[in-house]
Amino acid sequence: MTDHTLLKVKNLKKYFPIRKGVMKRVVGFVKAVDDVSFEINEGEVLGLVGESGCGKTTIGRTILNLISPTEGETIFDGRNIYDLNGRENKKLKTQMQIIFQDPYSSLNPRLNVGEIIGEAVREHKMARGRQVHNKVVEMLEKCGLNEGQVRRYPHEFSGGQRQRICIARSLVLQPRFVVCDEAVSALDVSIQAQIINLLKSLQEEMNLTYLFISHDLSVVRFISDRIAVMYLGEIVELAEKKELFAHPEHPYTRALLSAVPAQTPQEKKKRIILKGDIPSPADPPPGCRFHTRCAYAKEICSKEAPELKPDDHGHFTACHFTGEI
C-alpha cells in the first residue's frame, strides 16, 4: 500500500425519486446515500459493511459513474470523474472496474469465455488478433482456469468457476481500482474461501485497490485493511481493521461484531440483538439515524445528527457519546 490517495469521495449523495399517480409526480426521495465521504490509498482494501438496503451497493455504482450522483464528488487520481467527457470516461473504465455479486446473470450465455473476456480487450484496443487470445489465456490462468476452457460457454461452469471468469473479465483491462460488490455472497460457503483467497492474491500481485462491499463482516475482516460501517445511507464508523475489531465505538458496529463468530476460544462474545427493523431510507429518523434502535439513545440523539469525527488515531465515529458508552 502507498501513501498516494487514489480515490477520494466527497459529500456524496444519491437520492432516488419516489413517483406516484398518473402524472408520476415526485412525492419524495429514497436517500440511499446521504453525504458520504472517505478516501482509499493506492494498493489498499477498504471494506464497506452494513445490512442490506443501507446504501453500500449504491455507493459502489455511483463512484464508478454507473449511476449519476445527486450531489458530491468522486476524485480518482486527482480528477473528478463526473466532469469527464465521453472519451475520457471510456479511458477511465479501463482503470475502474466492478465485480458483481451474481456470476449467473452477469455473463452473456451466448458468448464463450474467450469472447466474454476478449470483448473488453478489443473494445478498449488493448490488443489485436492473436494477442487478444494470449491476454485472455494469461488472465484465465491467473484466475485458476486454463486455455482448454476458452471455447466453453458459461452454463458449462460451476458458480465458483463463473465468478473466476467474471474476475478475469474485470481484471484483463489491468484496472487500478476495483469495486467488489458482494463478490462472494452468491457462492456456496465452501467456494467462498477460494474466491476470497483468489481476490486477495490478485490484489497483491497486481497492486490493486479494492472497495470490498459485503454484508458479511467475517469476509470483510479477512481481506480489508480498513473497514467502514454503513447505516441507513451514512458511514457511522471507519477505522483500521484491527482497531475496529478490538475497540468498536459505535453501538451499531458493536451489534454487528457481536454476530461474527469468534476466531479464538479466548474471544468471548455476548450477542447484541438490535430492537426493531431498519427504518425506511425514504423517511429516515431525525438526528442520529440509529436512535430508534440504540440502547444508549438520549434526548439529543433524536434532535442532532452526530458528525463522523476522528480520534487521535484516525478512528472515525459518528456518535454523540463516543468514548463514554
With a CB cutoff of 8 Å and minimum separation 6, the contacts of 139 are 117, 168, 171, 172
Residues 114-133 that bind ligand SF4 (CB under 6 A): none
Contacts of 313 (CB under 8 A, 6+ apart): 243
What is the nearest approach in angstroms of ligand SF4 to the Cβ of residue 132? 53
Nearer to ligand SF4 by C-beta: 25 or 309?
A: 309
Q: Which stretch binds ligand SF4 (CB under 6 A): 30-38, 128-136, 199-207, 296-304?
A: 296-304
Nearer to ligand SF4 among residue 44 and residue 234 (C-beta): 234
Helix (H, G, I), strand (E, B) or coil at 138: helix
- Please report how close the Cβ of residue 35 comes to ligand SF4 at its closest, in angstroms: 16
Residue 139 in contact with residue 117, Cβ under 8 Å? yes
Furthest C-alpha separation in the chain: 68
Minimum CB–partner distance for residue 294 and ligand SF4 (Å): 3
Question: What burial class does residue 6 get, using C-beta atoms within 10 Å of its C-beta: 0-12 exposed, 13-18 middle, 19+ buried?
Answer: buried
Distances (CA, A) of 65 to 59, 60, 82, 89, 120: 10, 9, 7, 9, 18
CB nearer ligand SF4, residue 104 or residue 296: 296
CA distance linking residue 88 with residue 245, whole number of Å: 40
Q: Rounded CA gap, 31 and 67, in Å?
A: 14
Q: Which stretch binds ligand SF4 (CB under 6 A): 79-87, 120-128, 208-216, 315-323?
A: 315-323
Instruction: Kindly determine how many residues on this chain lie close enough to bind ligand SF4 according to the rule CB under 6 A.
Output: 13
Residues numbered 235-294 forming contacts with ligand SF4, rule: CB under 6 A: 250-251, 288, 290-291, 294
Is there a contact between 178 and 99 (Cβ–Cβ < 8 Å)?
yes
Restricting to residues 187-226, which ones interact with ligand SF4 according to CB under 6 A?
Answer: none
297 binds ligand SF4 (CB under 6 A): yes
Nearer to ligand SF4, 117 or 229 (CB): 229
Among residues 296, 303, 309, 314, the one that binds ligand SF4 under rule CB under 6 A: 296
Q: List residues binding ligand SF4 (CB under 6 A).
A: 250-251, 288, 290-291, 294, 296-297, 301, 306, 319-321
